[in-house]
Structure 1
Amino acid sequence: MANNKKNPKNKKPKFSPYWIYGGVIAIFLAMQLFNGSSFQDAKPTTPSQFMEYLKSGDVEKVEIVNRREAKVYLTKEAQEKEIHKKSKPTSILPSATRLPNYKFEFGDLQNFEDEISDVVSSENLSPKPKIEYKTEQNLWGDFLIGLLPFILLIGVWIFIMRRMSSGGGGGAGGQIFNIGKSRAKLFDENTEVKTTFKDVAGLEGAKEEVQEIVDFLKNPDKYTSLGGKIPKGALLVGSPGTGKTLLAKAVAGEAKVPFFSLSGSDFVEMFVGVGASRVRDLFKQAKEKSPSIIFIDEIDAIGRARGKSNFSGSNDERENTLNQLLTEMDGFGTNTNVIVLAATNRADVLDKALMRAGRFDRQIFVDLPDVRERKEIFEVHLRPLKKSQDLDLDFLSKQTPGFSGADIANVCNEAALIAARNGKKEVDKQDFLDAVDRIIGGLEKKNKIVTPDEKKAIAYHEAGHATVSWMLEHAAPLVKVTIVPRGRSLGAAWYLPEERLIVRPEQMLDEMCAALGGRAAEKVMFNKISTGALSDLEKVTKQARAMVTVYGLSDKIGNLTYYDSSGESEYGFTKPYSEQTAELIDKEISDIIEKQYARAIKLLEDNKDKLIELAEVLLEKEVIFKDNLEKIFGERSFNKEERELLDK
């Protein structure tokens, strides 16, 4: 029982400066309330009743206060009368002076004095009542009223200053005195970070690199004993959603050292010099708590390349912040044990001085996951879901080429929502397929008004895509075709592209031909074309331009590229080729596209009856799959690997 008793010391109230403020206010109020007649209880009366008392000779003295109030003092004999029994004055506080019996207010003083004189002379009162004049002032009240505006101003000023200087105030105006302080969030032994490397699926190469960084800080002697130096920085580079920030969280959870996390935009402020000040403060804190890690997410917010011509003025705040960051990173001693991690998906725009060895010694590329890594990512995100027992993870990983880790997490979440919407008890394969369709194509719009002619044109357009892609060796194999409107499109076809590291010209041409199959089908069937091929034309034009100007796959242009991977074009606003070359490029792009368009028309004309049959099935069912095409066209078997992929 003794252990359950609370410590009596803890019950003591904490001292607060507001107690002093309250005490001072209470004293002033007491002095105001206890001043003068605040607690005198003279019986109120009226001027007419007073005149009756005066005529009866009951009045001994009349005291006129501030020329507007009269206080009446009765004679001793009058106080004994029955009519005046209740007029005896009372007071909460003892008083050495006599208190009035009655009080009342009157109008004009001169008229009041004349009325008293008339009554005294007409009644021949003896002795005559005394008339005294008195002026009362509430000195403390007047003093407080005069002081009140100053008290309010000082109170508001103190309140604002405390809010501005407090660490918890938000926004730029909330921390005037701390505006140069770092906004980094500190994770240390007192802050639990639950993310570990077990939660990071795939990314084997990147994970190995960051694990080594953690090991540097845990066992520095293992590496420095041979004369080596601990790397000063590592830059995580990759597409959005690939897991750069997740890797940093895992480092924070595994390192067990102080971990400072902030975004590149946290350095940026409207005030000049604030960014550089925050950089200095950040590195000062990190050095004091070394060994430690600094993580700057989206570092391209402050790390963009400094231009030769400074359009924003000679004192650009972002450049000052970058210069300070460069100085701090290069100013590390070899024994400070502070490592800087940064993440960006725009490594091409970063300043060269920031990327050099000695600042960011390592660049860790976080690529989109492959089939095997996607399976591992699915395993992580499927843990909290109530999934079907026969769910095939290999199938799901092959159905999501080009998906990042964030996309896969979204697929799992959407599948769970779809299953719940349909009243299912567990998430099955169809829910995941619907989720992939939802993410790629958008939400189905079955209530969208489509005329029969438009629906027929859409059916033949999509059937054209399916037919041409089925006939071409290097085109992506078909998964599903639908004429149900989704998102901004009126119809859609899903393919399962082969994951290639290099792409050959014949593969690109087959893909372009398949993309033009929709417009070609409209031309073959109706001898008319429509605006429905906009996205197809956009895709084909980009591919053809890339073939000619980027990859050097055009015989007429030759082995030339006009692509600048550094992002720092030397040509400024001018084209890196002549007008004659520009005409040649335009003509070559047009020739490539028109040649594939004619090829698509030829394929569809040769298989017109099958195209019509497929379109009729599509009009009837609205959604068709690979099995429907196999019934019409027969098995598509260009190579063993593709057949195995389709069988899945």
Structure 2
Amino acid sequence: MSKDNKTPQKKPKFSSWWIYGLIAILLIGFQFFGSGSLSTTQKTTTSELQEYLRNGDISKILIITNTRQAKVFLTEEAMSKDVHKDVVDQPLIPSTGMVPQYVLDYGDLQNFENDIKKIKQENNLDTIVDYDTESNVFMELLLTILPFVLIIGIWIYLMRRMSGGAGGGAGGQIFNIGKSKAKLFDEKTDTRTSFKDVAGLEGAKEEVEEIVEFLKHPEKYTSLGGKIPKGALLVGPPGTGKTLLAKAVAGEAKVPFFSLSGSDFVEMFVGVGASRVRDLFKQAKDKSPAIIFIDEIDAIGRARGKNNFTGSNDERENTLNQLLTEMDGFGTNTNVIVLAATNRADVLDKALMRAGRFDRQIYVDLPDIRERKEIFEVHLRPIKTAETLDLEFLARQTPGFSGADIANVCNEAALIAARKEKKAVSKQDFLDAVDRIVGGLEKKNKIITPEEKKTIAYHEAGHATVSWMLEHAAPLVKVTIVPRGQSLGAAWYLPEERLIVRPEQMLDEMCATLGGRAAEKVIFNKISTGALSDLEKVTKQARAMVTIYGLNESIGNLTYYDSSGQNEYGFTKPYSEETAQRIDKEISKIIETEYKRAIDVLEKNKDKLSELAERLLDKEVIFKEDLEKIFGKRPFAEKFDEQGQEEVATEKLASEESTEENK
């Protein structure tokens, strides 16, 4: 193999720990060698010292008063004796000064001095006794500066932690705290998401695909006098795929893609947010053409001066002001586009929303039945299924589900199949997954008395009966008295996906919702707390009819709805006290009228209601075919039969949780 083909060896990266280690080695070496620890000085005891002194072997005793230690020096004659042979050998490292042969730690200085003096007098010795003090300049200096070193070290450590590794540099040091925290997408190392992975969202995809095309081939548009859009704002409910769409743009654009969250601009230090905005746009301009994606932009883009009750936040507003300046300060040929996503567009500042900053607002709505089918196709790719699934059937069973909900359904179905020791995921697993997500986990061990169970059965049978008899009520799928989540029982419907709703449709739905409490009144002549969620739902519907949609004749064609969402911060109502009383009366009137209507329906079908409740007590779960056996065919033409809904024995879903535990 030639040298040119050899893989170049990576040089080790420089680390600051090398410096720390070198300093530690030097300190240890200085202390080790400087103290003469490699010399042959040996420790001795007081009794041995006295014996050596009586024998005349000691020429000098140096008493170190501050360390309570004595150094012993032998005479020339004593060094030739065998008893001192070990201490007179040449030391490993020659000392620059006179090295003592022995050293000992004495106790009380006065007693030690008296003993030496007594022996000298008895033996008429001329041994020198001297006194001295020792000081370690290095250790004293170290002890002096150590507290300052510790304080500075702790401060640098805390600053690093608080800066959170901000922008480049060695581990997010304090000097880099004003740097942008944006992650630069690398198509070679990061998982690449393409537009093929984004199902549905046709209109939104078309908008962002055009942005990507503009960055790839700008001359196609500029030749006609067009300019690159400054920004595009993705707006929509949670889970609809806004961030996923941005990931697809990153995978398709083939240009630098900077991604970060709105909260990444927020820091405890003043001025950091604006500094990070400046650094972000500087990096993007240097790498243009480029795309900047800011997720959850409402963290910094909230309307100025309207921060809920607490007054304005100067730091957040400074960050927003800098963002506004950077977005509107581009030249026409910088080729930098800002994408942003939020589900709270109503709270964003008007200056941020204007043309010239976010030229396009792309609404990402909940998917319809066709888009849900496409989303299922994407998320079922890695799922090992037992049979060819009817995706259109699954799409019909998930009305109102977002893309994230559908992904959760597929994952839950796989987990349920694994829990049942299956080798593949079946259709029933998907239906159970929808039940699990919408209704909650089954609680088969919940203790319910026979009387309570009977009440729950008649309550759910009341829902089923009234909805079966009303034209505009949602078609029933199944009724269960098996506790799930917080509910003791539930009636499951498959609501029609309407774009507009008429008053008669809303009233029929309210009547069906009140069918549970009406059944308790008809059968037991008593009511319970089990209708909590029913009452909450119909109260909201009635209030919406009166105060939002203008569907009440007494109040008239008025709405008190504020699409900007600002009056939720205020303490005043947009109507007078007299109007408030009228609104309350009309809401109560609507609900009580529908309640009486539900009672009338159940009184006329009391025998069938009881038969349905008894069957529910026996089976715990009943389906549409059970109602057909009792009531016959529904008296109204079903709009859903054309879509193949005759397989209702196994259809489940899109529920109206009916009986809630009394907390």
Give the match for residue 595 of structure 2.
Answer: 597
Give the match for residue 178 of structure 2.
Answer: 180
* Inter-partner Cα distance in structure 2 for 1:45 and 1:80: 19
Give the match for residue 656 of structure 2.
Answer: none
Which deviates more, 404-413 or 129-138? 129-138
Partner-residue secondary structure (3-state), 2:339: strand
Partner-residue secondary structure (3-state), 2:442: coil
**Aligned with 1:582 (options 572, 577, 580):** 580
Q: What is the Cα deviation at residue 271 of structure 1?
A: 2.6
Tell me which of the two structures has the higher relative contact order, counting C-alpha pairs closer than 8 angstroms and 6 or more residues apart.
2
Partner-residue secondary structure (3-state), 1:130: coil
> Which amino acid in structure 2 is aligned with residue 533 of structure 1?
A
Q: What is the Cα deviation at residue 577 of structure 1?
A: 2.3
> Which amino acid in structure 1 is aligned with residue 492 of structure 2?
W
**Aligned with 1:371 (options 356, 369, 372):** 369
Q: What is the Cα deviation at residue 389 of structure 1?
A: 1.6
> Which amino acid in structure 2 is aligned with residue 527 of structure 1?
N
C-alpha spacing 1:5/1:518, structure 2 compared with 1 (3 Å): same
**Aligned with 1:145 (options 131, 137, 140):** 140
How do 1:56-455 residues align onto structure 2 when only pairs under 5 Å count? Answer: 58-59=56-57, 61-66=59-64, 69=70, 71=72, 73-74=74-75, 76=77, 88=88, 90-94=90-94, 129-135=125-131, 141-150=136-145, 153-154=148-149, 157=152, 161=156, 164=159, 169-170=164-165, 175-189=173-187, 191-307=189-305, 312=310, 316-455=314-453
Does the 8 Å CA contact 1:165/1:175 hold for their aligned counterparts? Answer: yes
C-alpha spacing 1:267/1:628, structure 2 compared with 1 (3 Å): same
> Which amino acid in structure 1 is aligned with residue 397 of structure 2?
Q
C-alpha spacing 1:92/1:465, structure 2 compared with 1 (3 Å): same
* Inter-partner Cα distance in structure 1 for 2:106 and 2:155: 49
Partner-residue secondary structure (3-state), 1:641: coil
Does the 8 Å CA contact 1:469/1:476 hold for their aligned counterparts? Answer: yes
Does the 8 Å CA contact 2:308/2:569 hold for their aligned counterparts? Answer: no
Give the match for residue 650 of structure 2.
Answer: none
* Inter-partner Cα distance in structure 2 for 1:349 and 1:321: 16
* Inter-partner Cα distance in structure 2 for 1:235 and 1:116: 95
Give the match for residue 657 of structure 2.
Answer: none
For structure 1, the residue ranges without an aligned partner over 5 or more in a row are none
> Which amino acid in structure 2 is aligned with residue 186 of structure 1?
L
Q: What is the Cα deviation at residue 63 of structure 1?
A: 3.2
Does the 8 Å CA contact 1:167/1:178 hold for their aligned counterparts? Answer: no
C-alpha spacing 1:25/1:617, structure 2 compared with 1 (3 Å): closer
Which deviates more, 326-335 or 185-194? 185-194
* Inter-partner Cα distance in structure 1 for 2:325 and 2:316: 14
Partner-residue secondary structure (3-state), 1:92: coil
For residues 314-363 of structure 1, the C-alpha deviation after alignment (integer angstroms, 9 at most, x for no partner) is 76222222222222212121111111111111112222221111111111
Which deviates more, 114-123 or 224-233? 114-123
* Inter-partner Cα distance in structure 1 for 2:368 and 2:74: 106
Verify: 1:41 aligned to 2:37, yes or no: no
Partner-residue secondary structure (3-state), 2:177: coil
C-alpha spacing 1:92/1:538, structure 2 compared with 1 (3 Å): same
* Inter-partner Cα distance in structure 2 for 1:286 and 1:593: 58
C-alpha spacing 1:392/1:90, structure 2 compared with 1 (3 Å): same
Does the 8 Å CA contact 1:89/1:99 hold for their aligned counterparts? Answer: no
For residues 346-385 of structure 1, the C-alpha deviation after alignment (integer angstroms, 9 at most, x for no partner) is 1122222211111111111111111111111001111111
C-alpha spacing 1:619/1:42, structure 2 compared with 1 (3 Å): closer
Give the match for residue 647 of structure 1.
Answer: 646
Which deviates more, 575-584 or 535-544? 575-584
Does the 8 Å CA contact 1:60/1:129 hold for their aligned counterparts? Answer: no
For residues 50-78 of structure 1, the C-alpha deviation after alignment (integer angstroms, 9 at most, x for no partner) is 555555x64463434436526253563x6
> Which amino acid in structure 2 is aligned with residue 442 of structure 1?
G
C-alpha spacing 1:473/1:179, structure 2 compared with 1 (3 Å): same
C-alpha spacing 1:352/1:16, structure 2 compared with 1 (3 Å): closer
Does the 8 Å CA contact 1:448/1:485 hold for their aligned counterparts? Answer: yes
> Which amino acid in structure 2 is aligned with residue 132 of structure 1?
I
* Inter-partner Cα distance in structure 1 for 2:415 and 2:13: 51
Partner-residue secondary structure (3-state), 1:177: helix
Give the match for residue 479 of structure 1.
Answer: 477
**Aligned with 1:494 (options 492, 507, 510):** 492
How do 1:425-574 residues align onto structure 2 when only pairs under 5 Å count? Answer: 425-569=423-567, 572-574=570-572
> Which amino acid in structure 2 is aligned with residue 500 of structure 1?
R
Q: How many residues align?
A: 640
C-alpha spacing 1:554/1:571, structure 2 compared with 1 (3 Å): farther
Compute the TM-score of the two structures, normalised by the length of structure 1: 0.90
* Inter-partner Cα distance in structure 2 for 1:80 and 1:51: 19
* Inter-partner Cα distance in structure 1 for 2:439 and 2:569: 39
Does the 8 Å CA contact 2:62/2:132 hold for their aligned counterparts? Answer: no
C-alpha spacing 1:106/1:571, structure 2 compared with 1 (3 Å): closer
Q: What is the Cα deviation at residue 83 of structure 1?
A: 6.2
Partner-residue secondary structure (3-state), 1:490: strand
Compute the TM-score of the two structures, normalised by the length of structure 2: 0.88
C-alpha spacing 1:171/1:232, structure 2 compared with 1 (3 Å): closer
User: Which one has a bigger Cα radius of gyration?
Assistant: 1
Does the 8 Å CA contact 2:52/2:58 hold for their aligned counterparts? Answer: no
For structure 2, the residue ranges without an aligned partner over 5 or more in a row are 648-663
* Inter-partner Cα distance in structure 2 for 1:105 and 1:579: 96
* Inter-partner Cα distance in structure 2 for 1:53 and 1:517: 112
Partner-residue secondary structure (3-state), 2:320: helix
C-alpha spacing 1:249/1:29, structure 2 compared with 1 (3 Å): closer
Which deviates more, 64-73 or 546-555? 64-73
Does the 8 Å CA contact 1:165/1:178 hold for their aligned counterparts? Answer: no
Does the 8 Å CA contact 1:235/1:364 hold for their aligned counterparts? Answer: yes
